[in-house]
A and B are shown apart, each in its own frame.
Chain A
Amino acid sequence: MSEIAREAETFLPLPPATFHILIALADDDRHGYAVIQDVAERTGGALKLSAGTLYRSIQRMLEQGLIVEPRERPAAHEDDERRRYYRITPLGTAVAKAEARRLTQLVKLARAAGFAPGRA
């Protein structure tokens, strides 16, 4: 196991809000409101992050080094001057992957026990 993967393990299990934010930032830098929208979209409106939960998570994730505020801004036409953008770090990616692996394992176990749909 690489150094970074080992460090990622120490973050598990991940709070759901943190996991969702990491997923929202997976392919693109986003500002806070965009994260909320992205999460809502992906979950079909089931999860609507509140501003408080979002920024409390963001503050934590910044401290933990899972995300950063990038210096360079997106292309001018996309940029919203007033917004602060966030970007996932390699550690953040590793943590998200580790959490995904953990959840997959869990689902496998649940299936084996007959708790979940799909192939046993």
Chain B
Amino acid sequence: MRGYRLLLRLYPASFRHEYGDEMSAIFARRLRDASNPLARTVLWVETIAEVMPNAALVHGDVLAQDLHYVARTLRRTPGFAITAVLIVALGIGATTAAFSVTDFVLIRPLPLPDPDRLVKLWERTPGYPTMELSAPNYRDWKAAAKSFASMGVYRSYAVTMISAGEPRRFSGTAISADLLPTLGVAPLIGRGFTADDDRDGAAGTVIVSYQWWQIEFGGDPNIVGRSVIFGETPYTVIGVMPRQFNFPSSDALFWTTNRFGEPDYQPSERTNNYLYAVGRLRDGVTLQQARAEIDVVATQSMQQYPKENKDTGAVLLLLRDEVSPRARLMLLALSGAAACVLLIACANLANLLLARALGRRRELAVRAAMGAGRERLIRQLMTESLLLALVGGALGIAIAVVSVPLLTRLVPTTLPIASAPSVDMRVLLVAAVLTIVTGIAFGLAPVLRAGASPDLDGLREGARSGGGQKERLRSALVLAEIVASVALLACAGLLIRALLTVQAIDPGFKAEGVLTMRTELPMPAYGKVATREAYYARVLGEIRATPGVISAGFVSFLPMGSMRGGIWPVVVPGDAEAASDTRRASNVAAIRYVTPGYVEAMAIPLKRGRDISAADNRDRPFVAVVSESFVRRYWPGADPIGRHFTFAFADREVVGVVADVRFRGLERENEPQVYLSSMQVADDSIQFYSPKELAVRTTAPPATLAPTIRAIIRQADPKLPITRVQTLSDMVDLETASRSVQVRVLSAFALTAFVLAAIGIHGLLSFAVSQRTQEIGVRMALGAQSSDILSMVLRRSAALAVAGVIPGVALAYAAGRSMEALLAGITPADTVTLAAAVGLSVLMTVIGSLAPTVRALRVDPISALRTE
């Protein structure tokens, strides 16, 4: 019989208590009736087979009943249901979205085999903590270092291809044959590069990315062996990489070989830094050991080439750590904010459920008195909590799925990962479990307590619900919410201030009303200065004749565009230091060739002298327009006009001084700038810097002129690809895009926290007021004024606000300190921000206490006392 009793445990306790004895009696009788051991065995088997599905059905009955009951009670209190669901949804949604992005960028291993063994090798020179490698240094260092199983290099490489009848630019990567084996990834179809493909003079070969294969080649299954024309040169497609391969970043559409020859390894090339090197550490070699070795190698190299490699060291970083400290900090700040929101959500949910449970004490007591077992009450409350958590959770997942794509701007483009993260299931699970546990724990608290002391207090008329202990717990929860929301508000405020500061930085030019685009000039076709000048003259002439155009000009590279480097050593007569050490950041300047009209189109203020003019041709003395910082560096306090310096293989005379332009970006250090005449250069020389980016200042909205200008360029040369058509304002805005996203996200979090905390305060005070209705009634009956009642309620809310704001501000300061690098010089103790955060939280307290206060004032002494 004990066995049968055990089987009955499968049924819900309520059912077992009700019918267990009867069922046992029936089973005992049947067991008695079974005449022999065989019959008894059959009876047991039958019973076991029957109890299991039947018990499940009874559980189902109970669940259906509970759901029905819960749905009915929730319909009666829609405010509670909606609030609870929203709290859960916001908590789960916000946390999942934020942590998904963080995990994607900072935590998840790179989608490459053994990613922890992959390192990136850089040069380091004074002023440049990580600089690309030069080809000769790469060759020497690779040959000397023994710490690496293999090593390869890559550089960005764009090509022009006729696609859909139009010349278009496609960005890819030129790599050494040993790069893909170093990364440990083989093509999906076709073969990888061999040393023969990577020889000087070898025929062009290309491996395409899975995405490009699908988009550009329609997923052609016979793509291997197909010929494509890059510029004018045929390349043979030899393979397709797997879909997940995004190296060096998700922008790479194809890979071709470097095909370096001896000219690429000449001594003069040692200061031409453009290669990125990736190595795989040999088994058993630690990063520290490899660093120690490469330092020795770099030192030897420095001694061997004292001029070219002066002060040149080596830097070895894990490939995984190719995330800028700012991007990392942004994501960490975001995660911290998300954690705050989740905690606030949980605290609020707990509070809400506690308040509701206290309010329902009478109902629960009545139902217990009517014979509902404790187990049934627990089950019902649990069903309610779970239902709310599940509905909220589903909504939260929807929020996460919708908001993750909004955060892709925070994914740095320097990592070999996909550009868009997906919602992370593990993160989702953790957030969901945390919320559900909170829901169940606090949903059950009251009935567990009621069950512990089965008194009938709840039934007594006018019973005060909630003891002092629970009251304290609720106050503590609300306090935690206020602290967290003050901290979040302050952090969001600091970041908003930082964003405004950065946006207020003068880029050195006027971004409004300028259309920009890039027209790659194919070489060698445009190698001669005269060819280029004919093109510039025709295009600029027609553009300037277009109605609505104020001025137009070409430049090597627009500021804050795709190419932000481009520096050249400066040699000034009499400046010994500059002459001896051309690798220092203080001895170089940004080199930009321009056509007349560029400085005007960009509205870069001309401070002295004149702009580059059409008369500055090859027959005239070579001239230069320099930036103010250039003058400060070389001729402080003196008049620079007429002075000479050597730059880009020629002596240059300064004819003008312009304001400094932040060509590297709003928040970066910028070297001095030198503008040279597009005509004053030798044929087929320094082609990389030939002006090809166009700036057009207009009176009309710039974008409206794009079709006209495209047509002008198309007519001048139909083979030129036109890319990056955008307004200069958009380019500048992109500078602060990740900041803006972060400010928006953090503000959304802060707002959520603000609302949740206000709800928490409201709940706590409403409850306190309803608890003291009688007391208020008595006081009023005894002659208390409205103002007395008012101060009684407001004292409480003021106490909450003060107790929450002080630690909140301290926490905000600490958080601000840890993200100081993001603040663009705003101090974490910024008075305006902290005052605003405090003001907002006081406002929040006032809003939260409004309704309860009004309720307290409306207490009618007569009816309040009647219930006593």
Interface residues of A (CB under 8 A from B): 31-33, 36, 50-56, 58-60, 63, 82-84
Contact = CB atoms under 8 A, between A and B. Distances in A.
B54 A56 contact: yes
Given A33-B29, A60-B61, 14 more contacts: A32-B19, A33-B22, A33-B26, A50-B47, A50-B50, A52-B50, A52-B54, A52-B55, A52-B58, A53-B50, A55-B19, A55-B23, A56-B15, A56-B61
B25 A82 contact: yes
A21 B399 CA distance: 51
B15 A55 contact: yes
Listed residue (A55, A82, A84) with the most chain B CB atoms within 10 angstroms of its CB: A55
A56 B52 CA distance: 13
A10 B279 CA distance: 77
Contacts of A84: 22
Nearest to A36: B26
B21 interface: yes
A104 to B, nearest CB: 29
B27 interface: yes
B18 interface: yes
A58 B19 CA distance: 10
Interface string B35-67: 000000000001100110011011001000100
A73 B138 CA distance: 102
A82 B26 CA distance: 12
For the complex of A and B, the 5 pairs showing the least CB-CB separation, nearest first, are: A52-B54, A55-B19, A51-B23, A50-B50, A51-B26
B615 to A, nearest CB: 100
8 contacts: A33-B29, A50-B46, A50-B50, A52-B51, A54-B26, A55-B22, A82-B21, A82-B25
Contacts of A58: 19
Contacts of B50: 50, 52-53
- What is the interface of chain A mostly: helix, strand, loop, or mixed? helix
Contacts of B58: 52, 56, 59
Nearest to A80: B25
Contacts of B18: 55, 59
Contacts of B11: 52
Chain B contact residues (Cβ within 8 angstroms of A): what range? 20 to 34
A36 B50 CA distance: 15
Contacts of A82: 21, 25
Listed residue (B25, B27, B57) with the most chain A CB atoms within 10 angstroms of its CB: B25
Contacts, number: 50
Interface in B5-38: 11, 15, 18-19, 21-23, 25-27, 29
Contacts of B27: 51
Contacts of B19: 32, 55, 58-59
Nearest to B49: A50
B39 to A, nearest CB: 14
A88 B274 CA distance: 93
Given A33-B29, A59-B15, A59-B18, A52 B61 contact: no
B25 A50 contact: no
A79 to B, nearest CB: 15
Contact of A51 (B22, B57, B61, B65): B22
Nearest to B52: A52
Contacts of B21: 82
Nearest to A84: B22
B178 to A, nearest CB: 72
Nearest to B10: A52
Interface of B: 11, 15, 18-19, 21-23, 25-27, 29, 46-47, 50-51, 54-55, 57-58, 61, 65
Contacts of A31: 22
A83 B22 contact: yes
Nearest to B21: A82
A45 B549 CA distance: 102
A65 B16 CA distance: 21
Nearest to B24: A51
Given A55-B22, A56-B61, A84-B22, A50 B15 contact: no
Contacts of A51: 22-23, 26-27
B370 to A, nearest CB: 14
Contacts of B23: 32, 51-52, 55
A55 B20 CA distance: 9
A52 B51 CA distance: 6
Contacts of A32: 19, 22-23, 26
A90 B455 CA distance: 38
Nearest to B57: A56
Contacts of A59: 15, 18-19, 58, 61
B201 to A, nearest CB: 86
A55 B25 CA distance: 13
Contacts of A50: 46-47, 50, 54
A84 B25 CA distance: 12
A61 B18 CA distance: 14
A67 B299 CA distance: 97
Contact of A53 (B15, B22, B54, B61): B54
A2 B501 CA distance: 81
A116 B270 CA distance: 102
B19 to A, nearest CB: 4
Contacts of A55: 15, 18-19, 22-23
Contacts of B15: 55-56, 59
Listed residue (A31, A51, A60) with the most chain B CB atoms within 10 angstroms of its CB: A51
Contacts of B47: 50
Nearest to B51: A52
Listed residue (B21, B22, B65) with the most chain A CB atoms within 10 angstroms of its CB: B22
A60 B58 CA distance: 10
A43 B782 CA distance: 78
A118 B21 CA distance: 46
Nearest to B55: A52
B707 to A, nearest CB: 71
Contacts of B55: 52
A47 to B, nearest CB: 14
Contacts of B61: 56, 59-60
A17 to B, nearest CB: 11
Nearest to B65: A63
A100 to B, nearest CB: 26
A44 to B, nearest CB: 18
Nearest to A83: B22
Listed residue (A31, A33, A83) with the most chain B CB atoms within 10 angstroms of its CB: A33
Nearest to A56: B58
B5 to A, nearest CB: 13
A54 B54 CA distance: 10
Listed residue (A50, A54, A82) with the most chain B CB atoms within 10 angstroms of its CB: A50
A58 B58 CA distance: 11
Nearest to B16: A55
A33 B54 contact: no
Contacts of B57: 56
A52 B57 CA distance: 10
A33 to B, nearest CB: 5
B51 A33 contact: no
A47 B302 CA distance: 98
Contact of B25 (A33, A52, A56): A33
Contacts of B26: 32-33, 36, 51, 54
B20 to A, nearest CB: 9
A84 B26 CA distance: 12
A59 B21 CA distance: 14
Contacts of B51: 52
Nearest to A52: B54
Nearest to A32: B22
A48 to B, nearest CB: 9
Contacts of B65: 63
B317 to A, nearest CB: 67
B609 to A, nearest CB: 98
A108 B158 CA distance: 84
A96 B61 CA distance: 22
A49 B27 CA distance: 12
A86 B847 CA distance: 59
Nearest to B58: A56
Contacts of B22: 31-33, 51, 55, 83-84
